[in-house]
Amino acid sequence: MTEYLRPAAKPARPHFSSGPCAKPPGWAPEKLATGSLGRSHRSKLGKARINHAVDLTREILGIPATHRIGIVPGSDTGAVEMALWSLLGARKATMVAWESFGEGWVTDVVKQLKIEADVVKAPYGTLPDLAALDQDTDIVLTWNGTTSGVRVPNGDWIRDDRGGLLIADATSACFAMDMPWDKLDVVTFSWQKVLGGEGAHGILVLGPRAVERLESYTPAWPLPKIFRMTKGGKLIEGIFKGETINTPSMLAVEDYIHSLEWAKQLGGLNGLIARADANAAALDAWVQKTDWIDHLAADPASRSNTSVCLKFADGAVTGLDDEAKLALVKKIAGALELEDAAYDVAGYRDAPPGLRIWCGGTVDTADIEALGPWLDWAWAQATVAA
């Protein structure tokens, strides 16, 4: 058995949670602009700061002028729910799920809204055949499976002449992956993922086809106020011009702006993608030389560069059932936290037992490199204790 000594060096920032994620390097509360705090979000200053956040979002992500961007309540979940409740029902839907959040949207559409839908599933670690999806239906999927580590590699399979809408929950993809905006009708994400912002706020991006649907279709069910995007059959444009549906936290807005300005200094999206790719590559280098761990995502082409999910290697935990494996995960994660070597690295509760390491752009590659020896040490401590 390999002997793993206690490493001498620790990650400088041991924040590897997949949400809320690590703050940008050098972040400190005193670096946030405070002029808007204590002011109304509807004041001239408050509205200007909200619009500044939206403008920076468009610039960094390369979102076309044809697409509207709105800050909405309820984090990414709220943004997705707004889209599902407001847009679906005009035609049949196809719900695509290969991890827990996709499963959640299946439940909402099939059991709550009771919309006619095909449900296409794949096991954790794999993707379904996306090219085989019926694109004359409204398709709902997670662009990056935060709890499985499997992402959609590109948008080449999406037809330009599709009849239905393409709705993508992209909360752990935006700012780390190149999104094919011209092929996406609805995209949602939240601040607390790739840019390490604060929770409770979501972003809803609507393409022209989604706006057309909103203005030509009225759902059969009542819509709560926070979901309503039209009035008198017309889009409420103010939602996408700094007039938020409810009161946002201006502190969270300023925190988001700080992260966006940091990203801009890196070179924008290309800089963020490069950092995430470097982090994922550093973690993969450790996985490749480690005999007790493996990637949950089977195909490197669809392996996430943000929420990297790991499973115990075949033969490493022979004879252990899932309950025992989960107990082992808790021991590993607990040992790392006690040492302040890594926080929040246990896999998602509904995923196969294993670890999940956030590799988004706010994490430094040096910290990923320093993490590997600590993971080996924690594995040794947990298995010896067992």
Q: How far is CA 146 from CA 233, 234, 338, in A?
A: 36, 34, 25
Contact between residue 351 and residue 147 where contact means Cβ atoms under 8 Å apart: yes
Q: Is residue 385 over pLDDT 60?
A: no
Q: What is the mean pLDDT of residues 138-154?
A: 98
User: What is the reported pTM?
Assistant: 0.97
Domains of the chain (ranges, CATH numbers)? 29-264 (3.40.640.10), 268-385 (3.90.1150.10)
How many residues are there in the chain? 386
Q: What is the mean pLDDT of residues 317-321?
A: 94
Q: How confident is the model at residue 4 (pLDDT cuts 50, 70, 90)?
A: confident
- Residue 236: exposure state from Cβ atoms within 10 A (0-12, 13-18, ≥19): middle
pLDDT tens column, 110-133: 999 999 999 999 999 999 999 999
Q: Is residue 384 over pLDDT 60?
A: yes
pLDDT tens column, 25-77: 999 999 999 999 999 999 999 999 999 999 999 999 999 999 999 999 999 99
pLDDT tens column, 80-111: 999 999 999 999 999 999 999 999 999 999 99
Cα–Cα distance for residue pair 103/95, rounded to 1 Å: 9
Return the pLDDT at 33: 98
What is the rounded end-to-end Cα distance, in angstroms, of the chain? 15
Q: Is residue 20 over pLDDT 90?
A: yes
Q: How confident is the model at residue 147 (pLDDT cuts 50, 70, 90)?
A: very high
DSSP 72: E
Residue with tokens 């995502």: 297
